[in-house]
């Protein structure tokens, strides 16, 4: 399975519409891949909280339409990163969209752990309440978004449900880049999964982005890592490596669940 991570630069000087058009054309250039992954909230910028309400869209909004068409044209599975979704009751969510190669919306995931403590998305957006998996050809993927990476129990739940690939779009700040790289590897090692961690580049809302998207294998080896700027990472994954890693070193078998409280 060939996967391409598009580490998109979010530049406030580029309009959301122009970025959508540009990203759609980058996806069309990835027809040699089976799976294309975009970062969190690349249309608006993960820290551009002032724009969230104005740029919110229904699920079947402009980003959905542009991404569905691009997935169909390139004939790829597309994890289109996330958008600010305006739900029917008016609540805003940070929602990831996954498309199949015929342009069908195959899965959506509302970010469960909202970042910002008492600011930004933590106060402006609703929280997702459902872990989501999607069946890709040859591998089952579990979905998470950015700050979720700090909560291993979500990833363990996805793994227990059959995930072999963990896809994590993000808008991670440069200031905590070391945590991003460390946690992506930790989630891969502890769950014996591939981790596809796709961040953004550039600076928006005064927050420099970490970039450094990475593909980590089930043994924790970093197969490819981007620099800080806009970049595409393309990696060939071997889904059989997940089962082999788990068979050769079967730690997941030794989990002890339901311990009494200390
Ligand atoms: O956890 C972090 O350090 C960054 C999280 C974040 O930026 C986000 O979830 O948007």
Question: What does the buried/exposed string (b/e) look like for 35-52 if buried means 16 or more CB atoms within 10 Å of the residue's CB?
Answer: bbbbbbbbbbbbbbbebb
Q: What is the dihedral of CA 28, 24, 114, 5, to 10 degrees?
A: 30
Neighbours of 205 (CB within 10 A): 16
pLDDT digits (tens, 9 = 90+) for 224-251: 999 999 999 999 999 999 999 999 999 9
Name the catalytic one among 85, 146, 164, 198: 146
- Residue 144: band (very low, low, confident or very high) from pLDDT cuts 50, 70, 90: very high
Tokens 């363990």 identify what position? 156
Please report the domains of the chain, with CATH numbers, ordered by start residue.
Answer: 2-251 (3.60.110.10)
Q: Can you tell me which atom of ligand 1 is nearest the CA of 148? A: 9
Tokens 């595409």 identify what position? 232
Q: How far is the CA of 16 from the centre of ligand 1 (A)?
A: 21
pLDDT digits (tens, 9 = 90+) for 164-190: 999 999 999 999 999 999 999 999 999
pLDDT digits (tens, 9 = 90+) for 26-68: 999 999 999 999 999 999 999 999 999 999 999 999 999 999 9
Q: How far is the CA of 171 from the centre of ligand 1 (A)?
A: 7
Q: How far is the CA of 206 from the centre of ligand 1 (A)?
A: 15
121 is an active site residue? no
Interface pTM, i.e. ipTM: 0.96
In the structure, which protein residues have their CB atom closer than 6 angstroms to any atom of ligand 1? 46, 115, 146-147, 150, 171-173, 176, 179
> Is there a contact between 208 and 173 (Cβ–Cβ < 8 Å)?
yes
Distance CA 191, CA 163 (A): 9
């Amino acid at each position: 399975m060939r996967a391409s991570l598009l580490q998109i630069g979010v530049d406030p000087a580029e309009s959301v519409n122009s970025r959508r058009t540009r990203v759609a054309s980058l996806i069309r250039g990835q027809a040699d891949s089976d799976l294309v992954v975009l970062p969190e909230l690349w249309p608006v910028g993960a820290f551009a909280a002032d724009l969230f309400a104005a740029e919110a869209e229904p699920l079947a909004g402009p980003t959905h339409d542009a991404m569905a068409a691009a997935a169909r044209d390139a004939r790829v599975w597309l994890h289109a990163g996330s958008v600010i979704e305006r739900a029917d009751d008016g609540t805003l969510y940070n929602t990831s969209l996954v498309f199949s190669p015929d342009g069908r919306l195959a899965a959506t995931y509302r970010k469960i752990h909202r970042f910002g403590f008492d600011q930004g998305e933590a106060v402006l957006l609703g929280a997702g309440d459902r872990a989501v998996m999607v069946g890709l050809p040859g591998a089952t993927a579990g979905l998470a978004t950015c700050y979720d990476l700090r909560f291993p129990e979500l990833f363990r739940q996805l793994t227990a449900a059959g995930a072999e690939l963990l896809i994590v779009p993000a808008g991670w700040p440069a200031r905590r880049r070391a945590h991003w790289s460390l946690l992506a590897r930790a989630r891969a090692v502890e769950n014996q999964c591939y981790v596809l961690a796709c961040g953004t580049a550039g600076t928006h809302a005064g927050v420099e982005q970490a970039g450094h998207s990475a593909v980590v294998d089930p043994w924790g080896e970093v197969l490819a890592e981007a620099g800080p700027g806009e970049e595409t990472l393309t990696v060939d994954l071997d889904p059989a490596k997940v089962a082999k890693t788990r068979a050769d070193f079967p730690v997941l078998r030794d989990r002890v669940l339901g311990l009494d409280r200390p």
